[in-house]
Amino acid sequence: MKRAILTFDYELFLGFDSGTAQKSIIEPTDEIIKLLKESSAKAIFFVDATYLLTLKKYNSRDFEAIAKQLKELVKIGSSVELHLHPQWLDAKPNGARWIFESFEHYRLHSLSKEKIEQLFVDGVETLEEITEQKVKAFRAGGWSITPFEVLENAFEKSGVVVDMSVCPGFYKKELPMHYYDFRDVPNEEYYRFSNNVNKIDKSGEFLEIPVTTYRMFGIDLAINNILKKLKKDKIFGDGKGLASANVQGNVLKRLFQTNLRRATIEGQSKWFFKKSLRKIKDKELISFVMHPKTLSKVVLNNLEYLVKNYKTLNTEELLKEYF
């Protein structure tokens, strides 16, 4: 049986409307837990620790509800790992929602090295206090892991040894807010690295598990968009991110071009999901990225297929077999 790493970025919406913890995190994650338990499957949840630290700062009642759910995830064999969106440093409560007064700190690299290290240490301590499970893995908010040398000391001080932020082939440069560059990433399902996350170092002290990427024709994206509209499939989350891309315009422009995609179940009709799996069928280890906040009925069906047809791994198993 092929292996799948099911990763979920456990977070609110980070833009126009944060949504509520109940609708965007807790309820959809409960649905994930049901599917995992039914198939004795495992997943890795990258929990936005900057959000948790902010909940503690404002004595939010959501903290206890989330802590209870994180304990349940560990109990069923899944892993709770570190995720950081430093824009929470500029967030303030607005009833059950949150307002982001600035996105100056969208990237970790906008902070000093000392502040980054403190966020890692505080985030790891918070998660470990809740779950009583060691934190060993990290995913950067907005994929902003490059340049890695800025974060290297933070990894060492917090005990993190696995990164899962790299998306081979992807590139974004919207400085100062958003930046990453994975155009020169080696074509490997996993590899060791040291101070450069894009470069293999066989004796490196860190392990990279890249998100699986593949290419799909624009016409396939157009068909998927039509099928989703016909199905009237809506996400469970009650928030809205920073920007809603004009998918229809992009699809029409690129109908006969291939587009780079991340392995996921989100925003995909059953037809598109099965076709995407055929695109990555040659991979022995497939790393998927998902978010509880963007779950829907169709997406849950896609997830059910994965947990029933792939051997799923948690962080402990990844370290034992690949590090």
Tell me, what's the pLDDT at 187?
87
Cβ atoms < 10 Å from Cβ of 14: 24
CB 141 within 8 A of CB 105: no
> At 301, which helix (H) or strand (E)?
helix 297-309
Helix (H), strand (E), coil (C) string for 10-42 = ECCCCCCECCCHHHHHHHHHHHHHHHHHHCCCC
Would you state the structure tokens that stand for residue 152, as one six-digit string?
């290297």
What is the set of domains in the chain, with CATH numbers? 3-322 (3.20.20.370)
pLDDT of residue 186: 92
What's this model's pTM, rounded to 2 decimal places? 0.95
pLDDT at res. 77: 98
Q: Which residues, in sequence order, are bridge partners of residue 3?
A: 285, 311
Q: What is the mean pLDDT of each run of 10 residues along the chain (323 residues)?
A: 95 94 98 97 98 97 97 98 96 95 92 97 98 98 96 97 98 90 94 97 97 94 91 92 54 71 95 96 95 96 96 97 94
